[in-house]
Structure 1
């Protein structure tokens, strides 16, 4: 395991520990005793980091060195430089930006604890509450994203179903239009046949009327001739 990467939190030089039991215990929990040494208190607030290299255990505790105003300015400059070098996003969720700001906050807690233990413990309480709040918001965000993905998948499935239904209705519409065209053609054929039949009937009726009129005139003429002959 390689050495931990550079951090905004100030640490003491690493110490080689041959066995884990050779290192002193980190101390009692924060706030348990007012007689704690600064290093013990810092170890309880900000646990030392340790790693193995070449089968050797290295331990690095948080520095107890007081900080000056220049140290704070340098911390800000280092934060800005790290944000730029690691290409942290300026907006939205960004693990890199969150990690760097967490390191910066831990360093501010360290600086404050060295000068005033009570103020450092209060900042620790604020930090832990912020972490809980961020975790809750992150869980809510992930849940919302998962819900949105599920809804999007359901919408896609519903869209596919609707598209299939639309295709079926379009096919049904074409079939109905075909039936309407066939029925319309039948109606037009029937109308033509009826018109032709009516014309034939009218012509036949007209011929019969003409024949009857001519026959009537002939009979009338014959009757007149008969009457005239008798007179």
Structure 2
């Protein structure tokens, strides 16, 4: 089964001074193997506390390993089925990478938007405070102008009263002078 070793290459690692090589099994699988695989997957998902939703790298890795085992079993029973499953697996991985890229791009976009909103909120808050300060300044100016206006009204009223008093006194003086002149004129003409 050379194709099996090409698709699922052996794992090689160094432990101490020994080089270890682990190859996939070429033994055909049974129904018990499928049930055992399902139980192992469920157990590993629980042990690793893989997330049920969203993007979870642990869950994805466990499912990938399970899919590789299903491909191994399919290749042993029918090479064409195994190759088709391999193609499905590769397409699924490419889609997952594309979706993850899209997800990360969307998250970055959302993060930028939140930052823009926060900046906009801070700017609006500053603008609001500036406008409130301007409003207080304008209200103070209105109050000051009201006080000045009231003072001008009082001064103007006092000035008018003074002028009216002078005018009245002048009229009284002129009436009195006129009466005296009439009296003197009447005294001369008689």
* TM-score category (smaller protein): 0.7 to 0.9
Provide Cα deviations, 1:137-166, integer angstroms capped at 9, x if missing partner.
111111222233333334444444444444
Secondary structure, counterpart of 1:65 in structure 2: coil
Whole-angstrom distance in 2 between the partners of 1:87 and 1:192: 86
Aligned to 1:3: none
* Alpha-carbon distance, 1:131 to partner: 0.5
* Alpha-carbon distance, 1:108 to partner: 1.3
Whole-angstrom distance in 2 between the partners of 1:55 and 1:43: 25
Aligned to 1:124: 86
Equivalent position to 1:61, from 23, 28, 32:
23
Aligned to 2:145: 183
Unaligned runs of 5+ in 1: 1-37
* Alpha-carbon distance, 1:221 to partner: 5.4
1:165-184 matched pairs, under 5 angstroms: 165-184=127-146
* Alpha-carbon distance, 1:61 to partner: 1.0
Provide Cα deviations, 1:14-67, integer angstroms capped at 9, x if missing partner.
xxxxxxxxxxxxxxxxxxxxxxxx2x2211111111211121111111112222
Taking structure 1 as the reference length, the TM-score comes to: 0.71
Unaligned runs of 5+ in 2: none
Aligned to 2:104: 142
* Alpha-carbon distance, 1:89 to partner: 1.0
Provide Cα deviations, 1:87-125, integer angstroms capped at 9, x if missing partner.
111111111111111111111111111111100000000
Taking structure 2 as the reference length, the TM-score comes to: 0.85
Aligned to 1:87: 49
Whole-angstrom distance in 2 between the partners of 1:48 and 1:88: 26
Greater share of helix:
2
Secondary structure, counterpart of 1:123 in structure 2: helix
Q: CA RMSD in A?
A: 2.4
Secondary structure, counterpart of 2:101 in structure 1: helix
Aligned residues: 190
Secondary structure, counterpart of 1:58 in structure 2: strand
Whole-angstrom distance in 2 between the partners of 1:62 and 1:151: 49
* Alpha-carbon distance, 1:181 to partner: 2.8
Whole-angstrom distance in 1 between the partners of 2:5 and 2:174: 135
Secondary structure, counterpart of 2:158 in structure 1: helix
Aligned to 2:66: 104
